[in-house]
Structure formats: C-alpha cells, structure tokens
Amino acid sequence: MSNTRGKEHEFIGMNLKFTDDRKVKCSMKKHVLKAINSFHDDITRDASTPVTSYLFGVRESSPHLSEEKADNFHSVVAMLLFISRRCRLDIQTAVGFLTTRVSAPDQDDWNKLKRVLQYLRGTIDLVLTLGADDLLSMFAWVDVSYGVHSDCKSHTGGAVSWGWGVLLTMCKKQKLNTKSSTEGEIVGVSDFMPNIIWARMFLEAQGEVLKKKNSISG
C-alpha cells in the first residue's frame, strides 16, 4: 500500500495542490502534452483563444479527411474530451463541437482541432482552481444559444460554483430541434437541472444542508 501525504497529490490522472488560502488547484499537464504530441501535425505556434468565431460553421465544400487522419482526429478529440471534463474547462466549447464531428471529420475540423491544441500549447500551465466562499451557498448558471449549429440545433452551457471556480459543467449541443429561443432555453434548463439537484442532494448527504435561497441564473 503506497500513499502520499501533504499538500500535493496525484489522483486518477490529476495533479492536486491544496493551497493555504483554502483553494485546491487541479492540473493535467501530462495529458495535455500527450494530446499535443500525438497529433499528426506539428504544433509550432501559440494561439490566444481556443476557438474562432466560425467554430460552429460547417462548409460542404471542405474535403473529408483521409482514414488515417480521421483516426488521429478521433483519438485526439477523445483525449481532449477527457481533459476538458476535468481540469481544462476553457476548451469545452471547442471539444463539445468537435465531438459531434468525429464520425466524418473534414479539413475544417482538423484546422479547428489544431487551433485548440495551439491554444493549449500556449496555456499549458493553466490550472483549475476550486474554492468556496461559503459551503452553504451554491450558484448555478444555465444558458442556451439558439440555433447556432449547422443543423439549427441549439447549444447548452451550464455550471455550478461555490464561489471560486466552476464544476459540474455542461457544454453540449442539444439533442432535439426547438422552434424558438424560449423553447431552447427550457430544453437547456431541463438538461442541466439534474446536475444542480444532484449537487444539492450530494452535499446534504455529506452533512451540509444548503441555505434555502440559492441563486440560479438563466
């Protein structure tokens, strides 16, 4: 039985660092490096943002990737999905879109993925810092972008926080078509609601009963 004590740990692939000001810092540098290295193209420059404004755009004219490249695309996106679910929430939007494209990626998707990796290269030392101002007050946000995808589906985003850093995030394309932004919002809230309820229930079972008034913003 081996164990680590103290302030710095490694747990299921994440590096944890507990700081003196009641925060915990999580990073997955090794996995990020692995994703960058296993991408077939060389990543030689840094990008300042993970995505550009045309992320959701799909052009018919863009040529499909060869089988070998498509395989590589799939595996790198899967690695990024793993990373983005844990420590690098900033690439979730890009990964959320790219995961919808893995079955038939084209050259545009390849360039978009490259952009994400360029961003990661430049910001490889970013960590997710989590902390709480008050354990008993929870904040939750849900929002929906109506009809942004090429098949007119909407995109849901949501997060839960205790004051510093977010967790329980959701960033994904909606599964059904909606006719108006209002309807889209409802679908989004209904998609994200289980996370909020679960967080509340979980914390109650841990012995922290939340205050009656908690803010949920839409």
Partner 1 sequence: MNRGQQNQGVAPQGADNDDIEDRDENDEQQQLDNDGGANNADQQDRNQGADQQETAEGENQGASNDGNTIDSDLSYSDDSSNDGNEERSDDDNENEERKNERERRRQHLEINTSDEYGRGKRTKRPNPSYSFLQKRFEKLTFVDKQDYFHIGWKEYQLSGDTKILERYCSGFLFAQMSAKKGIQKYGREAELKLLAEFKQLLEYKTFHGVKASELTAEQKKKAANMINLIEEKINRGHTDDNPVIKARSCYNGKVQRGLYTKEETASPTSSIDSFFITSIKDAFEKRDVAITDVKGAYLNAKMRDVIIMRITGREVDLFVELDPSLAEFVTYENGVKVLYVQLDKALYGCVQSALLWYELYSSTLIDMGFELNPYDMCVANSMIDGKQCTIVWYVDDNKISHVNPNVVTNVIQKIE
Q: Which of 124, 130, 148, 189 binds partner 1 (CB under 8 A)?
A: 130
Q: Nearest distance from residue 39's CB to partner 1, in Å?
A: 14
Closer residue to partner 1 in complex, CB, 55/102 = 102
* Tokens 């989004």, residue located: 188
Q: Does 95 bind partner 1 (CB under 8 A)?
A: no
Is residue 178 within 8 A of residue 184, CB to CB? The reply is yes
What CA–CA distance (Å, rounded) separates 102 from 110?
10
Paired with 216 in beta bridges are: 140
d(CA 91, CA 124): 12
Q: Report strand pairing: 139-145 vs 215-217.
A: parallel
> Which residue's CB is nearer to partner 1, number 48 or number 207?
207
Nearer to partner 1, 9 or 69 (CB): 9
Amino acid at 50: P
To partner 1, the closest distance from the beta carbon of 180 in angstroms equals 28
Smallest distance from partner 1 to CB 37, Å: 7
User: Residue 13 Cβ, how far from partner 1 at the closest point, in Å?
Assistant: 7
Q: What are phi and psi of 78, to 5 degrees?
A: -65, -40
Closest residue by Cα to residue 28 from 111, 130, 127, 140: 127
Distance CA 135, CA 131 (A): 9
| Count of beta carbons in the 10 Å neighbourhood of residue 59 | 11
Q: Which is nearer to partner 1, 22 or 40 (CB)?
A: 22
Stretch that binds partner 1, among 21-29, 45-53, 88-96, 119-127 (CB under 8 A): 21-29
Q: Does residue 22 belong to the site contacting partner 1 (CB under 8 A)?
A: yes
**Chain residues that interact with partner 1, rule: CB under 8 A:** 1-5, 9-13, 16, 18-19, 22-24, 26, 30, 33-34, 37, 64, 67, 85-86, 103-104, 130-132, 135, 162, 167-168, 195, 198-199, 201-203, 205-208
